[in-house]
């Protein structure tokens, strides 16, 4: 367990008033100015009373166990509210109970990870948010929002503060939270899907009677979930259970998210393009997941996923939110060479190896979704991210984002291509 951090009970304003009152009191005593002695003594006495009440009440509130519930899933620019409940306890006059959140936000999951020596890993944007609890209420809504997708790691805790802004007393131990922020939705054009790749038989069991199934020896390519493990254990060989009923063809759609780019201190423009590529991929999958004959194989720089229903899609979208850039690399076809169906690629203008990979896929047809920086003179539709959205949502942006290097547009020779344009504004 990490050691508890020391948090001063004086706010900056309270510390300034205390120092000023002490200076005036000492000077008035030396000058024997009765008027200044009375004023400074009254200020010090008033702060002493507030401090005693605050210390006494904060210790009583230490037994409080509030619940901090983040919305799931969390989506960027959604304006969602977090619920803080269980704020029970009598609050003295001239005091208010506040719930404070501090942490780090890692856009596109860049540099996020665990570190035992620090509360939060380095590299993220500092985050600060708070809300106050109305008198007589036991719950409150906390606004915690983010401009783009990524990972948030933070802690929430209660503070007892006076309405004059002099003191801030801790009430309970911090609660740690880690949340993945999904991309804000985007809406693209409907696309005709040529589902010719990886056609396979999908056999659904229509009865619980095991006699309706026959067995055969396992062959490479059979699904692992069809293996009869009990029978295989008896004869010391793998056998597969096959049903002659209710056969239907399932088409495998292969998707490649090429999240290659500037992995070391990426610019805000590159992060925004990666976010839009994720959003377009999410829209693509959500649009087609209801089709019972589609199975999606999604590959990225960090791994691969198989999606065949809404549950596996939801799990993939959570992983997608935390995917960051990987260093550029040259590669051959990462999918089966025997598969001649259409390949769907989602990429950004940061992917310097994109054209080489498309050439390596020849003659396989490729549908490309490419996110590029906009050119206002020739582009009429683009998605905009404002730098001021970060401080407006309690996220401190990196200074280097305000002077980042411009990313140039790139061309690609794909069978079909859809360009998504982005823009960064102040």
pLDDT tens per residue across span 146-176 = 999 999 999 988 888 998 989 998 887 788 9
Asked if the model's pLDDT at residue 240 lies above 70, the reply is yes
Q: Round the average pLDDT of the chain to a whole number and report it.
A: 80
Whole-number pLDDT of residue 421: 86
- State which fold the 12-182 domain adopts: Immunoglobulin-like (2.60.40)
pLDDT band at 189 (very low <50, low <70, confident <90, very high): low
Give the DSSP per-residue string, 67-135: EEE--SSEETT---EEEEE---SPPPTTEEEEEEEEEEEEETTTT----TTSSS-TTSEEEEEEEEEPT
Q: In the structure encoding, which two tokens stand for residue 170, read together?
A: 């801790």
Over range 202-208, report the average pLDDT. 43
The dihedral built from the CA positions of residue 114, 117, 123 and 129, taken in this order, carries a sign that is: positive
If one compares 77 and 8, the residue with the highest pLDDT of the two is 77
SS3 content of the chain, % helix, strand, coil (to 5): 25, 30, 45
Percent of the chain surpassing pLDDT 70: 79
Distance, C-alpha 223 to centroid of its chain: 33
Asked if the model's pLDDT at residue 203 lies above 60, the reply is no
User: The whole model's pTM is what?
Assistant: 0.75
Domain positions in the chain are 12-182, 205-245, 250-425
Say whether domain 250-425 belongs to CATH 3.30.70: no
Determine contact, residues 416/369, Cβ cutoff 8 Å.
Answer: no
Whole-number pLDDT of residue 191: 65
Whole-number pLDDT of residue 226: 75
pLDDT band at 207 (very low <50, low <70, confident <90, very high): very low
Over range 287-302, report the average pLDDT. 79
Asked if the model's pLDDT at residue 418 lies above 80, the reply is yes
Whole-number pLDDT of residue 16: 92
pLDDT tens per residue across span 13-55 = 989 999 999 999 999 999 888 898 999 999 999 999 999 998 8
List C-alpha distances in Å: 252 to 248, 276, 293, 418: 13, 25, 8, 22
Q: In the structure encoding, which two tokens stand for residue 248, read together?
A: 């239907």
Whole-number pLDDT of residue 108: 77
If one compares 137 and 162, the residue with the highest pLDDT of the two is 162
Residue with tokens 């790691």: 153
pLDDT band at 278 (very low <50, low <70, confident <90, very high): very high
- If residue 320 lies in a helix (H) or strand (E), which one and from where to where? helix 310-321
pLDDT band at 5 (very low <50, low <70, confident <90, very high): low
In 198-342, which ranges are E strands?
200-203, 214-217, 239-242, 247-257, 294-300, 303-307
pLDDT tens per residue across span 45-62 = 999 999 999 889 888 888
pLDDT band at 332 (very low <50, low <70, confident <90, very high): low
pLDDT tens per residue across span 75-122 = 988 888 888 888 877 888 889 888 889 999 998 776 555 444 455 556
């Amino acid at each position: 367990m990490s050691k508890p951090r020391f948090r001063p009970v004086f706010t900056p304003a309270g510390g300034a008033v205390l120092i000023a009152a002490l200076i005036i009191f000492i000077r008035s005593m030396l000058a024997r100015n009765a008027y200044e002695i009375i004023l400074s003594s009254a200020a010090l006495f008033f702060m002493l009373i507030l401090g005693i009440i605050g210390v006494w009440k904060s210790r009583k509130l230490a037994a409080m166990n509030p619940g901090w519930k983040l919305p799931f899933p969390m989506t960027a620019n959604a304006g969602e509210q977090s619920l803080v409940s269980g704020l029970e306890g009598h609050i003295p006059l001239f005091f208010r109970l506040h719930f404070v959140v501090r942490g780090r936000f890692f856009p596109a999951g860049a540099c996020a990870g665990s570190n035992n020596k620090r509360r939060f890993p380095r590299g993220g944007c500092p985050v600060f948010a708070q809300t106050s609890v109305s008198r007589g209420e036991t719950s409150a809504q906390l606004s915690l929002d983010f401009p783009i997708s990524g990972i948030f790691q933070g802690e929430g805790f209660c503070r007892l503060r006076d309405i004059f802004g002099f003191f801030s007393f801790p009430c309970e131990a911090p609660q740690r939270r880690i949340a993945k922020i999904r991309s804000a939705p985007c809406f693209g054009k409907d696309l005709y899907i040529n589902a010719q790749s990886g056609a396979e038989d999908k056999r659904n069991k229509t009865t619980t009677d095991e006699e309706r199934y026959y067995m055969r020896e396992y062959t490479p390519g059979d699904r692992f979930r069809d293996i009869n493990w009990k029978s295989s254990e008896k004869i010391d060989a793998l056998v597969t259970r096959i049903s002659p009923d209710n056969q239907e063809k399932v088409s495998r759609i292969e998707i490649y998210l090429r999240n290659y780019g500037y992995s070391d201190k990426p610019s805000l423009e590159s992060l925004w393009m990666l976010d839009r590529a994720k959003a377009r991929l999410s829209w693509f999958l959500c649009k087609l997941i209801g089709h019972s004959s589609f199975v999606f194989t999604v590959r990225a720089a960090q791994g691969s996923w198989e999606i065949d229903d809404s549950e596996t899609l939801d799990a993939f979208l959570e992983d997608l939110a935390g995917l960051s850039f990987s260093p550029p690399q040259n590669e051959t076809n990462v999918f089966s060479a025997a598969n001649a169906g259409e390949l769907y690629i989602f990429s950004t203008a940061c992917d310097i190896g994109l054209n080489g990979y498309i050439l390596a896929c020849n003659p396989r047809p490729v549908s490309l979704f490419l996110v590029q920086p906009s050119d206002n003179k020739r582009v009429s539709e683009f998605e905009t991210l404002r730098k001021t959205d970060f401080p407006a949502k309690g996220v401190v942006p990196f200074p280097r984002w305000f002077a980042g290097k411009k990313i140039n547009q790139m061309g690609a020779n794909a069978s079909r291509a859809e360009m998504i344009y982005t823009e960064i504004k102040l």
